[in-house]
Amino acid sequence: MITVANDLSGDFTSVQEAVNALPDDGGIIFIKKGTYKERVEILKDNVTLIGESAGETIITYDYYAFMPMEDGTNRGTFRSYTFLVHANNFNAFNLTFENSSGFGKKVGQAVAVYAEGDKITFKNCHMLGHQDTLFTGPLPLKEKQPGGFVGPTEFAPRIPGHQLYEDCYICGEVDFIFGSAIAYFKNCELFALNRNEEINSFYTAPSTYEDQKYGYVFESCTLTGNCPDRTVMLSRPWRNHAKAVFLNCNMSSQITEIGFHDWKKPESHDTCFYAEYNCSGEGYVPDKRPYYVHQLTESEASEYTQEKVIGF
């Protein structure tokens, strides 16, 4: 095991230097408490990062979409990440990943975690940001404007991987969990940040591929924040075949009664799949949901177990 420590007591003082030192077949890195201001990229399979304490072991950086590049273009969403994993069989435990650049109105999208690959797991991790905090790759099949996907996986094969987020704290404002992965969120807290707008936040914006059985599943999660009542949406479809299912979740009064937004794409009503089962809290108002939001039976909900959705 390689150890990273700010106080010179480990093998490295930089997380990225430790990652670079791993053999091609991966390995384990233990990161001691401290703030590591750096961008980290995991491009090798079979890597595990273990933090000493989730709240006190922090990887942070401050790139953002509106940031000007040397060629005169802006950095854009997909080059703004603090932490990138583009690999399989990756695990992270007890870590905070932060994009500290600030609110989207000022800086645009600013990704804290860019996760693409199969069998990716984050447990007891904090993901802190504002707009577009967590990107669960792959990218949508088509970009809507040239150059919209410039970034590390722009030309990679579009293979939806399986991802697990367990006992995590994820905060943000606009579309702060987004992407095309098959992702299972278990016992997580999703915290919406107030923008002082009519609609302050969208927890999720899936871009699930057509004919993909599963997209996002949230099991026993708490959806809360610091927004006024009825100013937050559960989801809106980044692409028309978006899928998000909420099971046994507690929904705060910040969530609007309709819960879901169609992003002014009425055609998505017939193609997306939004569903809820056995949720609770003042934000769970099933009789006020749009007609295209499904209220699952117990039998239907049984198709959304962790094993069935992601297989591990």
Residues 165 and 186 sit within 8 Å (Cβ to Cβ):
yes
Phi-psi region of 241 (alpha: psi -120 to 50; beta: other; left: phi over 0): alpha
Q: What is the pLDDT of residues 19-54, one digit of tens each?
A: 999 999 999 999 999 999 999 999 999 999 999 999
> Structure pTM?
0.98
**Sites in the chain below the pLDDT cut of 70:** none
What is the tens place of the pLDDT at every residue in 67-102?
Answer: 999 999 999 999 999 999 999 999 999 999 999 999
pLDDT at 260: 98
- Alpha helices by DSSP H, listed for the chain, are 15-21, 104-107, 298-301, 306-310
Q: Residue 33 is which amino acid?
A: K
* Contact residues for 271 (Cβ-Cβ < 8 A; gap 6+): 210, 240, 241
Q: What is the largest CA-CA distance in the chain?
A: 59
The domain 34-310 having CATH identifier 3.90.550.10: the answer here is no
Contact of 177 with 204, CB cutoff 8 Å: yes
